[in-house]
Amino acid sequence: MREQPFHLPDLPIMNHKVYHLNLSPGELAPDILIVGDPNRVSFIAENFLRGVDINKEHRGLRTITGYTDWGQRVSITTSGMGTPSLEIVLNEVVALHEIDFYEGKRKEEFPTINIIRVGTSGGLQPDTELGTLVITEYSVGLDNTGLFYDAPIPDENCQKLEKVVKDVIEGAIPESSRFKGKIEPYASKAHPAVVKALIESAQENTANFKSGITVSNSGFFANQGRSVSRIPLTVPDIDVHLSRAESGLKDLRFENMEMEASFLLHFMFPLGHRAGAICPIIDKRPEEKFLINYQEKIIEAAKVALQALRRLREWT
Ligand SMILES: O=P(O)(O)O[C@H]1O[C@H](CO)[C@@H](O)[C@H]1O
Ligand SMILES: O=c1cc[nH]c(=O)[nH]1
């Protein structure tokens, strides 16, 4: 990968704190859970962390740092909804570990960050039950945030996925649409150690889980096939088309849709940090099902993710 020089004025730091997360180095552990909803940060921390010494919020981005029952220092932070917000958060997460704020330069040595998204998602496959925890192996981004980071393609599977999804989307856009040909999917890969750690932890907890491909969208409504406004959808029934598509990857199907996994993996993988995602399925639209009380599933996913962070540190 082309190495990019660090340009100090590009990183706003105020009183040794990054501008959006309002954190100084040391306040964010290198083992992190990241969630969309700021209230989920407190909810998971109340259930799983003790000895909390950092609890900060700025612009709705809450971060709590404390210790697990086994004494591992872990932070839980907020991505906000969608990849544009996540892009801000991840740059600051990485800078907090990789940049020396006092010297104003990149450190020679820094820890490997382990970061796992615990989010909600919509199910795509008829035979995957509501409440199933989906462990992401690959993600395909239909947002364009990732396109601004020219990371190398992680493997051949990503190449295949980009083609498959491009064809699915193109096939679904009406000829008359001014946006035909303009949606560019990008594929990204979860770190294999994170996938392994999540699968082993899910098995240990006898959780109902599946691993699969996660499609990340740049919106919740039209972008995921929901027709609520009076404006026609560019890609009608996008969810139905993806659920029926063959991924071309052995034993992996398009399992769920959400709004952050693509960029999380795309950004962290080329930096050598380790990222993954575990997201319960909280709705299945074709069956008109919505899991109202999904908090139990968040607890289950957070427990699995924290145990995965433990494994990842033990394997380092
Ligand atoms: O529950 P979170 O983590 O926010 O994730 C999902 O929920 C939000 C949409 O409702 C999007 O952020 C989507 O990715
Ligand atoms: O269907 C869903 C559910 C949660 N989050 C999403 O982005 N989509």
Mean pLDDT by 10 residues, the chain (316 residues): 81 93 97 98 98 98 98 98 98 97 92 98 97 98 97 97 98 97 98 98 98 98 97 97 97 98 98 98 92 96 98 94
The protein residue with its alpha carbon nearest to ligand 1, atom 7, reads 120
Residue 118 C-alpha to ligand 2 middle, in angstroms? 13
Cα 94 from Cα 217, distance rounded (Å)? 23
Q: Give, for ligand 1, the residue of 61, 124, 260 to mutate: max count of ligand atoms closer than 8 Å to Cβ.
A: 260
Q: Which residue has the tokens 């998602």?
A: 121
Cα 246 from Cα 165, distance rounded (Å)? 10
Which ligand ends up closest to the CA of 121?
Answer: 2
Give residue 171's pLDDT.
97
Give residue 311's pLDDT.
98
Cα 149 from Cα 7, distance rounded (Å)? 16
Burial 94-130 (b: 16+ CB within 10 A, else e): bbbbbbebeeeeeeeebebbbbbbbbbbbbbbeebeb
Task: Indicate the length of the chain as a whole number.
Answer: 316
**pLDDT tens sequence across 24-65:** 999 999 999 999 999 999 999 999 999 999 999 999 999 999
Structure tokens at 141: 């981004």
Instruction: Report residues whose beta carbon is within 6 angstroms of any ligand 2 atom.
Output: 120-122, 220, 224, 257-259, 282-283
With vertex at residue 4, the alpha carbon angle to CA 12 and CA 104, rounded to the nearest 5 degrees, is 40
- Kindly give the residue spans of alpha helices, DSSP state H, lying in 173-273: 192-204, 238-244, 261-268
Give residue 51's pLDDT.
98
Residue 123 C-alpha to ligand 2 middle, in angstroms? 8
Give residue 2's pLDDT.
74
Which ligand ends up closest to the CA of 290?
Answer: 2
* Domains, the chain: 8-315 (3.40.50.1580)
CA distances to 91, 95, 181 from 19, in Å: 11, 11, 37
